[in-house]
Amino acid sequence: MQGQLEKMRVILNSPVEYQLPLGDQRVPLNRLIGQSIKLKFTGKITCIHCQRAVKKSFNQGYCYPCFTSLAQCDMCIMKPETCHFAAGTCRDSTWGEQFCFQPHIIYLANSSGIKVGITRQTQIPTRWIDQGAVQALPIFKVPSRYVSGLIEIAIGKHVSDKTSWQQMLKNNVQPIDLPAKRDELIKTCAPELNEVRQRFGEQAVELLAEAQPVDIAFPVDHYPIKINSFNFDKNPEVSGVLHGIKGQYLLLDTGVINIRKFTGYEVEFSV
């Protein structure tokens, strides 16, 4: 098979079901665990927005002009608390209204240890799976990305807001009592949460008190002890026995590769 890579599609089952998009084709991956696979980069990269051929990709699949002009590539996507929509300087106000002014979830997850994160409500549980979380718990629902960013900043003073991808892939994680940690953080961050409520209204911050932790199992028969990361820009051919899939990574006996990083790359895939 040959086609343009996109991030792997996932379904929350036990374990997670993965499909590898190659253009219009979808390759079921779980059944290939234990088999030898090969991905060969053809040298062709296409921007996932404007479809122009490029020599270098930015921000997981965009050409440089799109990277510097599209709202979805702006810094405020990575740092929602820096949203400048109210200042009238959003790169694309229509896009911002559609994607940023919709319900967002603030959550706790356990991927390489506890972390706080945010995502659109429609992206649960996909976001947790993509981060390689083995546990996750939604804690607040808010009306916009900006508000979610303010709460993430407050909670992020007490727990990490990042994942160590190396530790995540080694599966060096211990179970965490997420509800207990949630309750602890709510008390600790009460002043900041009250400030957000006073600014945006009591209804703007909904505590998801009845939410239950979600356990996520990944299709892995062997986790790597050492991490050797493949890069199509340095070596166009990746091959080995597929030992598992976690987050957006394929775990081979020869190393690991982040499929999402190479969105827009055309590859030949074979078993």
Write the pLDDT tens digit of every residue in 171-190.
Answer: 989 999 999 999 999 999 99
Contact 250, 27 (CB under 8 A): no
Can you give the pLDDT at residue 267?
98
Note whether 157 and 117 are same-domain residues.
yes
Residues 83, 126 share a domain = no
Alpha carbons 30 and 16: distance in angstroms, whole number: 9
Domain extent at residue 107: 102-215
From 169, 185, 215, give the residue that closes a domain. Answer: 215
The total number of structural domains that make up the chain: 3
DSSP SS3 for 203: helix
177, 244: one domain: no
Q: Are both 128 and 200 inside the same structural domain? A: yes
CA torsion sign, 17 to 22 to 27 to 33? negative
Same domain, 195 and 113: yes
Question: For position 125, what pLDDT does the model report?
Answer: 98
81: left (phi over 0), alpha (psi -120 to 50) or beta: alpha
Q: Please identify every stretch of the chain with a pLDDT value under 70, giving residue numbers as ranges.
A: none
Same domain, 138 and 34: no
- Phi (first) and psi of residue 130, to 5 degrees: -60, -30
Q: Output the CA–CA distances (angstroms, integers) from residue 203 to 68, 118, 154, 195, in the order listed.
A: 35, 18, 18, 13
The backbone torsions φ and ψ at residue 12, rounded to the nearest 5 degrees and listed phi first, read -75, 95
Residues 86 and 106 reside in one and the same domain: no
Same domain membership, residue 179 and residue 97 = no
Residue 187 and residue 135 share a domain? yes
CA atoms within 13 A on the CB side of 128: 27
Residues 48 and 17 in one domain: yes
**Tokens describing residue 198:** 């006073």
Position 230 scores a pLDDT of 97
Q: What is this structure's pTM?
A: 0.95
Predicted pLDDT at 88:
95
Cα–Cα distance, 248 to 35 (Å, whole number) = 19
19-47 burial by CB neighbour count: b if 16+ within 10 A, else e? bbbbeeebbebbebbeeebebbbeeebbb
Q: Are both 13 and 114 inside the same structural domain?
A: no
pLDDT at res. 74: 97
Say how many C-beta atoms besides its own lie within 10 A of residue 213's C-beta.
17
In this structure, are 109 and 140 located in the same domain?
A: yes
Beta strand 114-120 with 206-207: parallel, antiparallel or unpaired? unpaired
Q: What is the Cα–Cα distance from 3 to 160, expressed in whole angstroms? A: 37
